[in-house]
Amino acid sequence: MKKFVLIALIALSSICFAQTKSILFIGNSYTYSNGGVDVMLKNIALAEGDTLETEAFTVGGAKFSDFCNNPETFERIKSRAWDYVVLQEQSQLPAFPPSQVETECYPFAKQLCDSIRANDSCTQILFFMTWGRENGDQSNCANYEPLCTYDGMQQRLRESYVQMADDNNAIVVPVGLAWKYVRDNYPEINLYQSDGSHPSLEGTYLAALAFCEAILGNDGLYSYVPENFEPFTALHINLWVLRAMIDYKEECNLSDLLSVKFEAMPMLCKDMMPNNQANISITADFDSCVCDFGNGISHTFLPNDEEVSNYVIYVDFRTYLGDIPSELLNVCVTAYRGYCSVSDCEEFLYDYSVVIGGIEDNAVESLNFTNPVTNGKLQFDSDVTSNYEIYSIEGRLLDSGFVSGNEIDVSQLKQGMYLLKINGVGYKFVVE
């Protein structure tokens, strides 16, 4: 058992996340299968604390040309200023011979993109690169050899979607390439329904993860797992989606996708001073970034500032907030490119307090407890009378209350590492 006494507490702890984006999906059954990529995407984001307002206009088997001839398509586009619009072409057409795609697909992709930008020039357009059929497109194999195999069909889909994005200054979300990674490396994960074409639940999960990574840019694993889903399956789909997003970043124009993510450092750290910094991650070229601390204080960062490195801004909150009293702040960061902007807001508790003599006057001077916790009870060696707070290792407040005795019930916590704060003193503990 160790005691960790923090000589000073400069805490910036994340209480909740408030990134909200609007997304319109235009597509067919590949988009709406298994309840919809849009719904799965919303659930994944919500588990990370972000709100995505999604809407889908889908018609089974529809092509871009069908959408262009349907007035409802343009009514949906004009219904609001969308942050993102996703375009998914009919599953076979982009894999057809280039001359056919040029006449039957590209002009209608351009018409949709032009309409989206006429509605709001800052809307970011995402092409939904789909996947090859499990055994190729056998119904058209005799007419065009690349369609005879999965690999040949996937390559043509890749070429056509990248071309559409290049022609329309748009981005490709490489769902089909992440699909190929999973299929090639973990064939035991079945991404297809029995027809060898439509996505299984695993396939829809993969597609939604790719869009979530493009829009939120977490660069890591997402916590949401569909019901009755194998953890092994979710883990490997996450990993291969991330790999595809990295490997095809330039080819798919993902480096042009402007997004911003605001993340505070963990509030308390074992055997060291707590970190008082946060990172603002921006995914593409930007003209400026404004950090509004929500209390009348703000600061503008420029790309050539010393705090900026590779689109990441390192923010030391003491520089701008100093020794203000403990305060709950709604911090918003906004990245600007031209007259377009993207934002991310989070609510934080900024707490600056200097500890005299190593321990605050009202702090518990010696606190020993069972660690790791194995019985759902955080048990102390002696009685404690104090308010307490429990945080995740990332700094999110999970529980708070008052303890009068020698234990705190932590049975609601999953296995992992947590932070206990009592009167300004921080301790790290593990639940097994």
State how far the Cα of 100 lies from the Cα of 171, in Å rounded to an integer.
22
Residue bearing the bigger pLDDT, 429 or 117: 117
Minimum mean pLDDT among 159-163, 203-207, 312-316, 333-337: which range? 312-316
Looking at residue 265, its pLDDT comes to 57
Looking at residue 311, its pLDDT comes to 85
Closest CA to 154 of 125, 126, 182, 134: 134
* Top-level class of domain 18-256: alpha beta
Asked if pLDDT for residue 114 goes beyond 90, the answer is yes
Asked if pLDDT for residue 234 goes beyond 70, the answer is yes
Looking at residue 89, its pLDDT comes to 98
CATH (residue range 361-431): 2.60.40.3080
- CB neighbours (10 Å) of residue 384? 18
**What tens digit of pLDDT does each residue of 370-397 get?**
888 888 899 888 888 888 888 775 566 7
Asked if pLDDT for residue 327 goes beyond 80, the answer is no
Asked if pLDDT for residue 267 goes beyond 50, the answer is no
- Please give the span between the terminal C-alpha atoms of the chain, in angstroms, as a whole number: 15
Output the average pLDDT for the chain: 85
Residue 119 has phi, psi (to 5 degrees) of: -75, -45
Q: Do domains 18-256 and 361-431 have the same CATH topology?
A: no
Confidence of residue 75 (pLDDT cuts 50, 70, 90): very high
Closest CA to 177 of 119, 105, 254: 254
**What tens digit of pLDDT does each residue of 189-223 get?**
999 999 999 999 999 999 999 999 999 876 667 88
Asked if pLDDT for residue 19 goes beyond 70, the answer is no
121: part of which helix (H) or strand (E)? none
Q: Which CATH number fits domain 260-354: 2.60.40, 2.30.29, 2.40.128, 3.40.1710?
A: 2.60.40
% helix, strand, coil for the chain, step of 5 = 30, 30, 35
266 cis-preceded (ω within 30 degrees of 0): no
Question: Would you state the structure tokens that stand for residue 70, as one six-digit string?
Answer: 């349907």
Sequence spans of domains, the chain: 18-256, 260-354, 361-431
- Classify the phi-psi angles of 370: left when phi > 0, otherwise alpha if psi is within -120 to 50, otherwise beta: beta
